[in-house]
Structure 1
Amino acid sequence: MSTDRDALTRELLDMVAEEGMVDRAEITAERPLEELDIQSADFIMILMAIEERYGAYVSMDNELTDVVTVQDLLDLAIAKIEEHQAAETAEA
């Protein structure tokens, strides 16, 4: 199963907006998450929503240390989702 990255990106941006309680119109790929006032508790909610929807686990510890912008978060989430999908395909 291949991932439609554009659709996935839109879904993830919607999740960031919803879980981070940020106006979707304010979210751009280049925007630092700090500017959007997304706190660590919001991060946890975003990551839990990603895990619940896509089955992909993102560790709060090491993997988020380099996440500065919305694009960084998207790249990490998409990589984890694709890894999870590839593992499921391999098991099938």
Structure 2
Amino acid sequence: MSNASEQPAPAQWPDMEDSGRLEQIIDIIAEDGAVERSLITPDATLETLGLESMDVVMILMGAEEKLNIYLPMDNDLSEARNMSEFVAAIDRALRAGKPAEAG
């Protein structure tokens, strides 16, 4: 028996209830991570995109602002092995409906 972390990373985008959400999240990654949009593929990793920890912080801050959501750097985000898992983690947070705190 094997656990989920031993499974291969997904090579396609996650299914989302809102068809425009995937494009919106990819736009945020491209804009706030300063990455060419065409390079953001499901199997791309933070490393292959040249994203460092500060870039990830900027992406998360941009997503929080543009999507009005709180995104803690929890296990879902910190353990994402590629963009498919990273996008899926943001989508799960959106569906969980944790609004950003006013401040």
For the superposition of Structure 1 and Structure 2, which TM-score range results when normalised by the shorter chain?
0.7 to 0.9
Match 1:67 to one of 64, 80, 95: 80
> Which portions of structure 1, spanning 4 or more consecutive aligned residues, are displaced by more than 4 angstroms?
none
1:23/1:58 CA distance change after superposition, 3 Å: same
Give aligned-pair identity as a percent: 29
Match 2:20 to one of 7, 10, 21: 7
Distance, in Å, in 1 between the alignment partners of 2:24 and 2:77 is: 20
Question: Larger helix proportion, structure 1 or 2?
Answer: 1
Kindly provide the CA deviation profile for residues 6-48 of structure 1, in whole angstroms up to 9, marking residues without a partner as x.
3100010011011111110111111112100111111111111
Distance, in Å, in 1 between the alignment partners of 2:78 and 2:62 is: 19
Q: CA deviation at 1:57?
A: 1.4
> Mind listing any 5+ residue stretches in structure 1 that lack a counterpart?
none
For 2:67, the aligned partner's letter is Y
Question: What's the counterpart of residue 92 of structure 2?
Answer: 79
Q: CA deviation at 1:4?
A: 4.8
> Mind listing any 5+ residue stretches in structure 2 that lack a counterpart?
1-15
TM-score, structure 1 normalization: 0.79
Q: CA deviation at 1:62?
A: 3.5
